[in-house]
Amino acid sequence: MATDDDFARRVLAWWDRHGRKDLPWQHPRTPYRVWVSEVMLQQTRAGTVVAYFERFMAAFPTVHDLANADLDHVLHLWSGLGYYARARNLHEAARRLAERPATDPFPRDVAGWMELPGIGRSTAGAVVAQAFGERASILDANVRRVLARHHKVAGASSSSHAQRTLWCWAEQHTPVQRVADYTQAIMDLGATVCRSTKPMCDACPVQDTCAAHATGEEAQFPHRSPRKSARRLERRRFFVITAGDLVLLEKRPANGVWGGLWSPPERREDEPLDECLPRLGVELATVAETTHAAPFRHGFSHYDLDVLPVYVHLTRLPAEVRDGVSLRWARRDDALGLSAVAVKLITPPQRSLLETNP
């Protein structure tokens, strides 16, 4: 029977035969490309990330290109990937890295990466291991699941006790040789074999030392966090105001949901229309048609949002736009950072979804 000491060897042997070796950030595996990919992979599957990563690299091939880019352009290329704080942090981190010596802008150790915004211990470890081949450990959600099951680590993964235990195991298993491949291998194992539901234990290279598998308790690990209070539901109204082929967009506050992105203006549901519109610079005499479309629900991590779209078509553009810098008239295909909800809102609705309001 295999011993736990050769955990990494078995994982690497499995990866050599079955692992993913055609991911774009693996060719070439430079610090910049690995860093961008690791930030994109936080909370997002590799299959989704690939197209975003390739577009991002085409637009910003170096850290200096990213540092010099307009944040709107960065957010535009991030549109649809979600968790937009990642893009803002990436951009800010690039600016800081660009101030370092041009020939060597990237830290080589975990502590150096963790000083940058948006980089935690696991992301820093993943970059250092893959970009420099230095021994560093990772503990992303996939790795947490493998280790929690393999060692039957008690407690919710988010608890500090479980975190400490999991990091100990992560460090113990990290090999000295082939650390870059091991990092990809253990992530792949969690993503493709030790899946959150229906793990494929028969295909797993560490099955014979897996404590949860030995007792048939794969589904019990990792332990779940204590039940949170019921998801709350919010309702907000979004004004899609158009004139010709232009649409009015508002820049959202940097902090908060969809921070820094452009969106149709959001207003409280109980604010009267004839008060909202003038505040947005709309002359009521130019309103040709107002329609309320069917609401739709958008899920965030902690709550659901019922989006109530109101379409307002104007006969002509206002002479001036109130609120100045936070409002702009744009074409639908302008290169601006838009959330998936904003894209859905400004896509011309089907008439069947509209209920004309007085």
Q: Give the residue numbers annotated as catalytic, written as ranges.
A: 38
Nearest distance in Å: CB 205, ligand SF4: 8
Q: Choose, by CB under 6 A, the member of 122, 165, 207, 263 that binds ligand SF4.
A: 207
Place of tokens 């290279």: 205
Cα-based distances in Å from 351 to 234, 315, 355: 26, 19, 8
Q: What are phi and psi of 251, to 5 degrees?
A: -80, 130
Q: Choose, by CB under 6 A, the member of 69, 201, 246, 354 that binds ligand SF4.
A: 201
Token pair of 73, please? 């352009």
Q: Choose, by CB under 6 A, the member of 8, 40, 110, 204 that binds ligand SF4.
A: 204
Closest CA to 283 of 331, 315, 328: 315
- The answer to the question of residue 199 lying near ligand SF4 (CB under 6 A) is yes
Q: Is 118 within 8 Å of 85 (Cβ atoms)?
A: yes
Q: Choose, by CB under 6 A, the member of 86, 121, 150, 267 that binds ligand SF4.
A: 150
Could you write out the DSSP letters of every residue in 59-114? Answer: H--SHHHHHHS-HHHHHHHHTTS--THHHHHHHHHHHHHHTS-TT--S-SSHHHHH
Q: Closer to ligand SF4 at the Cβ: 151 or 237?
A: 151
Question: Distance between terminal CA atoms of the chain?
Answer: 76
Residue type, 280: L
- The answer to the question of residue 188 lying near ligand SF4 (CB under 6 A) is no
Q: Closer to ligand SF4 at the Cβ: 198 or 351?
A: 198
Question: CB under 6 A: which stretch of 209-217, 252-260, 266-274, 330-338 binds ligand SF4?
Answer: 209-217
Q: Is 40 within 8 Å of 78 (Cβ atoms)?
A: no
Nearest distance in Å: CB 212, ligand SF4: 5
Q: Choose, by CB under 6 A, the member of 34, 63, 212, 314 that binds ligand SF4.
A: 212
Nearest distance in Å: CB 107, ligand SF4: 32
Q: Choose, by CB under 6 A, the member of 162, 166, 187, 193 that binds ligand SF4.
A: 193
Closest CA to 244 of 345, 309, 317: 317
- The answer to the question of residue 218 lying near ligand SF4 (CB under 6 A) is yes
- The answer to the question of residue 339 lying near ligand SF4 (CB under 6 A) is no
Q: Choose, by CB under 6 A, the member of 88, 121, 213, 252 that binds ligand SF4.
A: 213
Nearest distance in Å: CB 108, ligand SF4: 32
What is the maximum span of the chain, computed from C-alpha positions, in angstroms?
A: 82
Q: Closer to ligand SF4 at the Cβ: 67 or 146?
A: 146
Interhelix angle for 71-78 vs 46-59, to 10°? 150
Q: How far apart are CA 60 and CA 251, in angstroms?
A: 23
Place of tokens 């919710």: 156
Question: Which positions touch ligand SF4 (CB under 6 A)?
Answer: 146, 149-150, 193-194, 199, 201, 204, 206-207, 210, 212-213, 218
